[in-house]
Amino acid sequence: MRRAAKGEPLRSARQVGVRVDSADAPSLAAHGGVLGRAPERLPRDLVIVGDSIAEMVRLPEKSVDLVFADPPYNLQLGGELKRPDESRVDAVDDAWDQFESFAAYDAFTRAWLLAARRVLKPNGTLFVIGSYHNIFRVGAALQDLGFWILNDIVWRKANPMPNFRGRRFTNAHETLIWAARDAGAKYTFNYEALKAGNDDVQMRSDWLFPLCTGQERLKDDAGRKLHPTQKPEALIARVLLSATRPGDVVLDPFLGSGTTAAVAKRLRRSFIGIEREEAYAAAARARIDAVEPLAEDVLIAPPSAREAPRVAFSALVERGFVTPGAELTDAKGRFRAVVRADGTIALAHAAADRSVGSIHRMGALAQGAEACNGWTFWHVREEGRLHPIDVLRARLRSEMGIAAE
């Protein structure tokens, strides 16, 4: 994407048609957005050549599951960047990254965020990436416009470009902001899948990936970098695997070399990419065409605990996964309880009038706590080893799924 070239007028609000809130109209109008009617059907798996804001306002409202935005950073380079040996660094000095002032950049940012918020579904989320040059201004605009920030994520670069003049710290990271469309929205977050793929440890908000290099980096006919800010596919894959499901629609309003669309296709997500430069769009299309989607069975994520079918402890007893009279203990063997035929459990060494109840209530009583997750607190011994009874619940859910098929 780029801003209007010198002498090139920005399109007015009357040139493109879309309906927006009246309070948003001036901001969108200044950057090509207009009032009118949007199409009823959403285009899918398409690279659109055009201005990001003008093209977003052409899309149906509340139609996109996730927006990934890599907007111009407004790097404010004052001249050529050189190494100590006077060789020139291939820095980002393209016209699309240049703005006349911070005010102009802020107006641009507000306009594209308004357009993105309009097309997001109520449960949709937005990721935007930036550097210290712009990400704080973008974050403030997000909050001003009603987005609810969920996380800031640090992309820590394994191979950052050094600070050649030695006057600053090496810029070794970029920041992603992850935001819901509204406060209180029920958004997608594949917590269990991320944790399972991270050696059963919660995924952190600092992500280590190298810069885009080697065969993944697109080159022009002269062997030079096709796009100066191409992002690594691994970074985009982490984003999509975190906050989307197969079949979801992903919008990238600053598509560039097509990384988001290529990764979305491989992960069986639908995509819409908007790119103003025809050369980048053509390269993106060729790149996307060469992608083979992964097999569906390798993309099925385990259901989250909230989405999985509810299974009561009594169902485990009824189906024979736990037999009446079996002993349950905590992981360290400090507390014991006996399983009863009705799915309740009886604590050993507890007051007689309070010793029988649910796995949760008895777990709390045993510890003298206000609450307890009985599924993870109580364990059962199988083949000489203790397992949380949640393992038995997972087996029953699996059996129920097979039976349902």
pLDDT (mean) for 189-204: 90
**What per-residue confidence (pLDDT) applies to 161?**
80
CA dist 181 and 77 (Å) reads: 33
The model's pLDDT over 122-152, given as tens digits with 9 standing for 90+, comes to 999 999 999 998 999 999 999 999 999 999 9
- Quick one: average pLDDT of 20-28? 46
Three-state SS at 329: strand
Of residues 300 and 135, more confidently modeled: 135
Tokens of 96: 């699309």
Its sign, for the CA torsion 104, 50, 5, 14, is: negative
Please report how many Cα atoms fall inside a 13 Å half-sphere around the Cα of residue 67, on the Cβ side.
32
3-state secondary structure 53-94: HHHHCCCCCCCEEEEEECCCCCCCCCCCCECCCCCECCCCCC
CATH of domain 46-76+92-298: 3.40.50.150
**Residue 2 · residue 254 · CB < 8 Å:** no
CA distance readout (Å), 56 to 52, 134, 200, 308: 6, 22, 39, 35
* Residues facing residue 272 across a β-bridge: 46, 251
User: Which of 8-22, 23-37, 183-197, 274-288 is predicted least confidently?
Assistant: 8-22
Looking at this protein, which amino acid is placed at residue 195?
A: K
The whole-number pLDDT of residue 32 equals 47
Question: What type of residue sits at position 52?
Answer: S
Mean pLDDT computed over 262-288: 95
Between the alpha carbon of residue 175 and those of residues 127, 153, 205, 286, the distances in Å are 10, 6, 10, 29
Highest mean pLDDT among 18-22, 267-271, 331-335: 267-271
- Is the pLDDT score of 81 beyond 70? no
For the question of whether the overall pTM of this predicted structure is more than 0.85, the answer is no
Angle at which helix 102-119 crosses helix 135-144, to 10 degrees, equals: 50
**215 pLDDT exceeds 90?**
no
Q: Has residue 245 got a pLDDT over 90?
A: yes
227 has pLDDT over 90:
no
Residues 35 and 164: their CA atoms lie apart, in Å, by 49
Through-space distance between the first and last CA atoms of the chain, rounded to whole angstroms: 48
Average of per-residue pLDDT across 265-292 = 95
Q: What is the pLDDT of residue 196?
A: 83
Average pLDDT over residues 261-277: 96
**pLDDT above 70 coverage of the chain, percent:** 79
Q: Kindly report the backbone phi and psi dihedral angles of residue 112, in degrees, each rounded to the nearest multiple of 5, phi listed first.
A: -70, -30
DSSP E strand boundaries for 268-372: 270-275, 327-329, 336-339, 345-347, 356-357
Residue 109 burial (10 A CB sphere; 0-12, 13-18, 19+) = buried
Q: What mean pLDDT, rounded, does the chain reach?
A: 83
DSSP annotation of 8 reads P
Rounded Cα distance between 107 and 120, Å, is: 20
214 contacts 186 by C-beta, under 8 angstroms:
no
Give the residue extent of every domain in the chain: 46-76+92-298, 313-400
Instruction: Give the C-alpha distances (Å, rounded to integers) separating 15 from 12, 21, 41, 214, 254.
Output: 6, 17, 21, 43, 21
Residue 271 backbone dihedrals phi, psi, to 5 degrees: -140, 155
Picking from 33, 12, 11, 37, the residue whose alpha carbon sits closest to that of residue 23 is: 33
Q: Where are the alpha helices (DSSP H) in 270-387?
A: 278-289, 313-318, 359-367, 374-377
